[in-house]
Amino acid sequence: MPVGTKGTVKGLTPGDLREAGAGIVLGNTYHLYLRPGSDLIAEAGGLHAFMGWEGPILTDSGGYQVFSLARTRRISEEGVEFASVYDGSPHVFTPELTTRVQEELGSDLAMVLDECPPANAGREYHEDSLRRTARWAKRSKEAHKRGDQALFGIVQGGLYPALREESLARTVEIGFDGYAVGGLSVGESRDELLETLALTAPRLPVEKPRYFMGIGDPVGILQVIALGVDMFDCVLPTRLARHGAALTQDGRINLKNAKYRWDFGPLDPGCLCETCAGYSRAYLAHLVRENELLGHRLITLHNVRFTVDLCRRARREIEAGHYESWSRTWISRYTRSDHKRADELE
């Protein structure tokens, strides 16, 4: 799911997203609540009308943004007090408020307010946090009134298997339209992430969507799909593009590298996007070096299309019963290029 934090996937129009095959985009409750305001967006007819996107929209609760700003917030049973990243003004997010804001935004999928502790938080902290998150989740569900909007619960518990099991049981007991695995991609190793996800995702209700919050690299996407995840989002494909990095079947390439100045081939010969069909690596490298907006836009368009196409292919391979062998071969090709490591942006 491409991320449109402030009501826009940076550099792309809704038409671009449709052409790329995106079926859903994300909006960010924290940022849209602060600017331009959920009341204004509601007056405009909701986020779909405001941004000109006719497809589904998922909005997060803003919890991750609040908790990532640890110096400016205070957690209580009521909710979270924080200072605006824009002007320092004080605000309080409660489960009831974030639910109401998302209803005003008019998204199709909304998330409960949760706490997202860092990976290095101690067991006692995670234990208290997951139980508070469960209480908040119940309040979010009780406050939720829109019948045309799905509400997802979020499983926390850090890297502790017993706490994950407890959070999962508490969240499923409340009952939601879908379930997210939160509290990962917050500083733990990839092995720790996958091990924790393997204990969590398969135990979620099979008839409900399973959402992994915050993974967007191609290898990671294929790895979490293998563990039963249906939905995922990340700013990585669009953020990489703004730094001149493109995703290809042979790994990630950095167009700031001098060797691409004379490379007149497409970004990825196997890609059918507008960028690969009409522009060379040399031209894109020139745009990147000159910091031209067109370069950011064209690489963003490619990275989004590349990621969406990867997911389409994964779905076909699952349906054909070949996913395990196909994904293993795909990952091997993506990671084996000797030049890739030198090109990557860390």
Q: Using CA atoms, how far apart are residues 89 and 101, in angstroms rounded to an integer?
A: 18
* Residue with the two structure tokens 């290898």: 219
Phi, psi of 24 (to 5 degrees): -160, 150
DSSP-assigned letter for residue 6? T
Dihedral of alpha carbons 331, 332, 334, 339, sign: positive
* Residue with the two structure tokens 């990557």: 344
Instruction: Using alpha carbons, select from 156, 164, 111, 94 the residue that is nearest to residue 129.
Output: 156
Is residue 225 within 8 Å of 314, Cβ to Cβ? yes
Distances in Å between the Cα of 223 and the Cα atoms of 190, 228, 243, 325 are: 10, 9, 25, 12
Question: Which of 16, 114, 233, 268 is an active site residue?
Answer: 233
Is residue 172 within 8 Å of 179, Cβ to Cβ? yes
Determine the 3-state secondary structure of 201 from DSSP: helix
Is residue 119 within 8 Å of 158, Cβ to Cβ? yes
Question: Which of 16, 60, 114, 268 is an active site residue?
Answer: 60
233 is known as an active-site residue: yes
Q: Using CA atoms, how far apart are residues 61 and 143, in angstroms rounded to an integer?
A: 13
Is residue 177 within 8 Å of 152, Cβ to Cβ? yes
**CB neighbours of 258 closer than 8 A, spacing ≥ 6?**
none
Q: Which two tokens stand for residue 40?
A: 């204004």
173-201 in b/e burial notation, b at 16+ Cβ within 10 A?
Answer: ebebebbbbbbbbbebeeeebbebbebbb
Q: Using CA atoms, how far apart are residues 73 and 38, in angstroms rounded to an integer?
A: 21
60 is known as an active-site residue: yes
Is residue 29 within 8 Å of 94, Cβ to Cβ? no
| Catalytic positions, written as ranges | 60, 233
